[in-house]
Amino acid sequence: MNNFQFQNPTKLIFGKGQIAKLVEEIPLNKKILITFGGGSVKQNGVYDQVKKALKNHNCIEFWGIEPNPTVETLRKAITLGKENQIDFLLAVGGGSVLDGTKLISAGILNENEAWDIVRNPKLLGECVVYGSVLTLPATGSEMNRGAVISNMVTHEKFAFYSTYPTFSILDPETTFSLPEFQVAVGIADTFVHVMEQYLTTPNQSPLMDRWAEGILQTLVEISPKIRKNQHDYDQMSNFMLCATMALNGFISMGVSQDWATHMIGHEITALHNTTHGQSLVIVLPALMSVLAKQKQEKILQYGTRVWNITTGSTEEKIQKTIAQTETFFRSLGLATKLSELNISQDTIDEIVSRFETRGTMLGENQNVSADVVKEILELAK
């Protein structure tokens, strides 16, 4: 096991009717900016629950944080926050609203330009405290420091790291009215988050392996039930808990991490505005094939424990495991090839050229070069 440090101070408030707890979590003397995406929270009753809980608080609202939140939009919220001397932020929505709110939190008390804060960790200064009411399980942003921000001018998308949410309220009932596609990409995103922390170096921590597999096994078990009935409270609770646990540090103690699938997926999203989870499931099976030798031992373990693939030669078991992974993604109604989304060779060439220019090497062994990225994307055509 590698040496590690772990700390995650976020308070999770989970279950039916818990949005009302907002009143206990935010002091009355705070000047709150509530951040939203589009208007779905007005249809599903979440907006009303939030306003009711905070009826005696001093709140203003910022609407319009988009999927793959852009620095262009967030700059406006930062200006609003500065003008109104906001000292508490409340994100109400999915991972994009949360990610965007992390940059707003970092920007309000900071004199630097917002995109510079994203690109240069040294510019992160004091951040405004924030909490969240999560309505879309997927990114894990409700219990981590990470955010991914897009730039519309440069067509770039980068991660940055800020502070943890003080609290996150997760009421599974808020997910009942999500579009089926959003639930599918949420499950896919959760699945790939786990794979990035799991499908790496073997024998680093049997416990972290079991916990990662536990999330994957649960997702495999609940997904058909959720596809059948999205109003099943228990199954949506299970999904919501899986999504949060998949990216809060609980399964990455003492083990190496990959994240090449995400880095490549971000580029697809940056160039085509493809939904994040959809990008990932196109990249992952191809990446597993290209890196099958390096990841052999872990792919076999994953195949055995998650998919019960125990017969055949090593080669056959690996093939079956990758095929089964792709089949699972397709069972969610997602595309697993670039061509299905009309993404052409031009995009592949542009992505490879970006990695060449940056010279960054990806993956747990830092050996996924631009050439390997090309191989992966060619296989994903």
Asked if 221 is part of the footprint of a copy of itself (rule: CB under 8 A), the reply reads: yes
With vertex at residue 299, the alpha carbon angle to CA 298 and CA 302, rounded to the nearest 5 degrees, is 85
Q: How far apart are CB 70 and a copy of itself at their closest, in Å?
A: 32
Q: How far apart are CB 13 and a copy of itself at their closest, in Å?
A: 5
The whole-angstrom separation of Cα 164 and Cα 141 is: 9
Which member of 207, 333, 366, 367 binds a copy of itself (CB under 8 A)? 207
Which member of 83, 234, 315, 350 binds a copy of itself (CB under 8 A)? 234
- For 112, other C-beta atoms within 10 Å of its C-beta total 14
Query: Which range, of 206-214, 270-278, 310-318, 355-363, touches a copy of itself by CB under 8 A?
Result: 206-214
Burial-class residue 6 by CB neighbours within 10 Å (0-12, 13-18, 19+): exposed
Residue type, 118: V
Helix (H) or strand (E) holding 64: none
Q: How far apart are CB 203 and a copy of itself at their closest, in Å?
A: 8
Q: Which of residues 10-69 bind a copy of itself (CB under 8 A)?
A: 10-18
Q: How far apart are CB 210 and a copy of itself at their closest, in Å?
A: 3
Q: Looking at beta carbons only, is 12 or 283 nearer to a copy of itself?
A: 12
Asked if 264 is part of the footprint of a copy of itself (rule: CB under 8 A), the reply reads: no
Helix (H) or strand (E) holding 63: none
133 contacts 51 by C-beta, under 8 angstroms = no
Instruction: Write the CA distances from 356 to 142, 155, 182, 373, integer angstroms.
Output: 33, 17, 33, 10
Q: How far apart are CB 205 and a copy of itself at their closest, in Å?
A: 7
Q: Looking at beta carbons only, is 212 or 377 nearer to a copy of itself?
A: 212
Gap between the terminal Cα atoms of the chain: 37
166 contacts 129 by C-beta, under 8 angstroms = yes
The 142-181 contact track toward a copy of itself, x by CB under 8 A, reads: ------------------------------x---------
Q: What torsion do the CA atoms of 296, 301, 307, 309 make, to the nearest 10 degrees? A: 70
Residues in contact with a copy of itself by the rule CB under 8 A: 1-18, 172, 203, 205-207, 210-211, 213-215, 217-218, 221-222, 234, 237-238, 241-242, 245, 250, 253-254
